[in-house]
Amino acid sequence: MKVYIDLLFILNFIYDMLLLLTVSVTLKRNISFKKIFEGSLIGAFSTFIIFLPFSKPILLILKISAGIIMLLITFSYHNCKYFLNNIMYLYMTSVILAGFLYYLKIEFNNWSYIIILLIAPLILYLYFKMQKELKKVINYERKITITFLNNKTLNLTGFIDSGNKLKDPITNKYIILVNKKVLKGIYNIRSPIYVPINTVNKHSLLTCLKIKNIIVNDKIYTNYLLGISDDFTEIDGVECLLNYHLIEGEENV
């Protein structure tokens, strides 16, 4: 049986690129196309492992190792959960895509390669569209530092929430929201103040803390209170809901 090395390389490059694009879009990774391209090259070169004179178990280990290297080059390593999610979705996607390609091979024979080439631009389009939407979200993320009255500090990842326009009517200070668990071991709530707020279904009092300041993008804000919300939980790494007024403050800098 003849094996065309160049065709094998190109097809595996496209296959690995489709896998990495799918993982990136599914998990909403903010990864540049350059990283996707570099990872796909590693995956394509790893195809030649099957021609090495090793036993099947060794070849399998080498192939898995190449897949891990491909992921590390593409997505880097942030933490164990991040890395394991990348691996899990890569192999799940690989199984699904391999099954789809096998179906095309049976139904359309040589036309299957042409269909793959037609699908690739669609995946690329979805990838760039998702990246554009993701960048809009990331533009509202901020690294902030909260300084309490006892001079202790807390570093959090905040998200500027367009729905958070809370303001204390007495002190005229704006409110940012965190979960009570975030403060555990950092600050003891001894003398809170209660701010009346209106929710969709009721009127209630929000427990707030006076703070010295918050630092966002090296700019210090002193006209803020720290609101403690049991309803707010960490979402996708966001630990704090910032007040929409911050955008106005940044625009006036």
The pLDDT tens digits along the chain (253 residues) read 455 666 777 777 877 888 888 788 777 777 778 888 888 888 878 777 767 777 878 877 887 888 888 888 888 887 787 888 888 888 777 777 666 666 666 666 666 566 666 666 666 566 666 666 655 554 567 888 999 988 888 888 887 777 778 889 888 999 998 887 777 777 667 778 889 887 656 678 888 989 999 998 888 999 999 988 776 655 556 778 888 787 665 544 3
CA distance linking residue 60 with residue 45, whole number of Å: 15
**75 and 149 share a domain?**
no
**108 and 154 share a domain?**
no
**204 and 146 share a domain?**
yes
**115 and 186 share a domain?**
no
**100 and 194 share a domain?**
no
**198 and 101 share a domain?**
no
**98 and 21 share a domain?**
yes
- 3-state secondary structure string across 111-177: HHHHHHHHHHHHHHHHHHHHHHHHHHHHCCEEEEEEEECCCCEEEEEEEECCCCCCECCCCCCEEEE
**83 and 201 share a domain?**
no
What pLDDT score does 228 carry? 87
**121 and 145 share a domain?**
no
**127 and 225 share a domain?**
no
Domain end (from 138, 166, 188): 138
Structure-block tokens of residue 178: 């965190």
**131 and 155 share a domain?**
no
Domain end (from 118, 138, 158): 138
**63 and 86 share a domain?**
yes
Helix axes 80-108, 111-138, angle to 10 degrees: 150
Look up the domain containing 174 and give its range: 141-251
Q: Is the pTM of this model over 0.85?
A: no
Q: Which residues of 172-211 are buried (b: 16+ CB within 10 A; e: fewer)?
A: ebbbbbbbeebbeeebeeeebeebebeeeeeeeebebbeb
Which CATH number belongs to the domain containing residue 191 in this structure?
2.40.70
